[in-house]
Structure 1
């Protein structure tokens, strides 16, 4: 048996569509049936009763259909209209339409100020009691009828306020969590700047110094190391400052350079297909991680990068001819790549064969809408 927590119940209540409120209209079946079954009412009065119910339903639907833009004036107007309809129909047709006063009191529960709610609630119920007295009911009967309804109104008002406080609490918790995340990001960014930035600066300096005294045969490689370290240092600073925006064009260019330097023949397009910025940046990071794995672990001689653009979909594949499973296995960023792809509602598959590994990625994409 499924157990619901308070949070589950609150979530279901808050996310319920507006038409759930239509379920409470079932109580109108009593005045409708009483009116239609009456042998003392004329056809005209029965028609008045039916039209009165239709008018009530129209106002009720209007109020709850636009519940997201409720205002005190709108609430007071709706409660007043219910009371007026209740008065007219109770006098002209029968006393079953006194339930309109109860609906009016329930609508008033949307008022946040309890004093205002209690005062206006008492006014509308005293109004209903006065109508009952005018029609000949005793004071005791009228009082016993409307006092329980007032208690129900207070209970509903309390429920509304509980929901409101619950929402405020959730909002406060979310704000605290966001603040904690921001502080953690700031700490990580500072650590990156202090530790990684310093190490990369040292690599740049050492490569530059060694290049001055090294034989000509290794000076070119040292120069490449220096350029890569400088590029990495720039990217670290961009990450720290929140300005780092990788692009597929730059990653393809860098992938070609890295693969060639590692002695791996790159087969890749000069430019990627057009795609939305978010998809471009995310796939660029995935490509970087995949190429890094190929260089470090695959022992491949060739790496093929392909793009295929289908209606509503972008496909990216990275294939190497190295050791089966060498470039792609858990612990080498595969989980991070998969999370990035899944954040785009995409799919990532790994295929292992004796001739290497293929990483296939499919991401939904509508280039016309840019999503």
Structure 2
């Protein structure tokens, strides 16, 4: 059994060790000197997700275009131990943990979603679509629990994983590009810049459709909470180096705004600014600040309330394709791998994929005003 062995590390410390990566990775590949995850995927990393608070230890799963989902244990000194992996029939486009930490749901371009039982290391199919499945999320409501799957077949489906048929299937205006769930809210972004907000209490139902505040195709969405710790709105990232902060019911219209990010600072010699896609957005679980990662190979930390940038990383060798915070916000994980934003002619098979871990809790603290 994968998770039956007791941890050899004390559970009293919440610290995540100091810096000092001893790997042989060249400095150009790890300019921030962060901890390197061992045995990374062989192809572009599509998604990262840390284990929920129900598990005492931190486990990290990554889905990639090599059709595999890998799982590592992250130890308190920053070292990683490879635990297990599962193979799907196509590239893995999304992963989601069950809230008790016993299972991982894996959505694939092979049109299926499988449930990986980590105790028995077995997988079983629990959902199907007519096209690649782009998103999967676990929903834990007081009266029901299910997974929500979004596909390029223009449907959003909700599944009781014990039944072969969905509890509910909703037709969408276009293919699903991104989604997020923070009970009782779900947000789904589709092609043609559609955004649909769902309310999940009692049973899932559409709450409102919002026209995207961004002019170009969106790529990622992440729900944020208000001062009362209630899901209140979302951040939306686009291919055009811009993020929109959007409240569902804005107390003041000025609370909704957009900001530029992942662009060349000084422009190029011919006077044009290089603009890069925002590949992923994640909110810090305790501070409420956020991280963005982009095709420029940088991660940035932001305070949306103060509308300030907290940190900008050095540039990596390749794009940063996705990121994640662990459940208590001590660790920031990010994957460096080619995201195909510049087409096949810019793909360099010699360049390795990396996943790095960074102690981040202080860097994401809002600055005192």
TM over 0.5: no
TM-score range, shorter chain: under 0.3
TM-score by length of 2: 0.23
Q: Which has the higher helix share?
A: 1
Identify, as 1 or 2, the structure richer in strand: 2
Query: Which of 1 and 2 has greater Rg?
Result: 1
